[in-house]
Amino acid sequence: MDLRRYIRDIPDFPKPGILFKDITPLLSDGKALRWTIDQLGERYRGSVDMVLGIESRGFLIGAALAYALGVGIAIVRKPGKLPSEKLAAQYALEYGTDTLEIHRDAFGERARVLLVDDLLATGGTAGAAITLIQQLGAELVECAFIIELEFLHGRQRLAPHKAYSLIQY
């Protein structure tokens, strides 16, 4: 299936000069969504104990994938959104820094974790999530994305960890 048909380009969002890759058409098409989750499910079936979804589109893909794999989902969020005891990791933005948080009891030590998000750009967000996985003593199996913007070299920033994407631009 050509998933590019279901990705909408939104120029100048969220700020001028950015070409936003909108996955909502993919999410709203049952066949395309099923195909996406089936592809990821086939790749990871039997090799993970937990899916970790990154706020917020990673929650959508991650929850569906966790269900398909028969495992749980944990989440990483921006500060102030998680109610229980948590860990935090900062990451660099173009101008400044941001932070992600995870519950300390999101998964156990030695859990095999699959990191999931909709898009890999510079790798900053995924890199912070990897730091949180490591702080909890778990094993990162791979980072999975629907879309990868290769020209931003996010995959290199995640090295030595493996990354997989269904669509590359």
Active site residues: 57, 94
Q: Tell me the C-alpha distance between 69 and 64, whole Å.
A: 9
- Return the closest-CA partner of residue 75 out of 56, 92, 91, 89: 56
- Return the closest-CA partner of residue 147 out of 121, 117, 125, 119: 119
Omega prior to 83 cis, within 30 of 0: no
Q: Tell me the C-alpha distance between 40 and 121, whole Å.
A: 19
Sorted by sequence, the CB contacts under 8 Å of residue 31 that are 6+ apart come out as: 1
What is the Cα 45 distance to its own chain's centre?
A: 17
Sorted by sequence, the CB contacts under 8 Å of residue 150 that are 6+ apart come out as: 168, 169
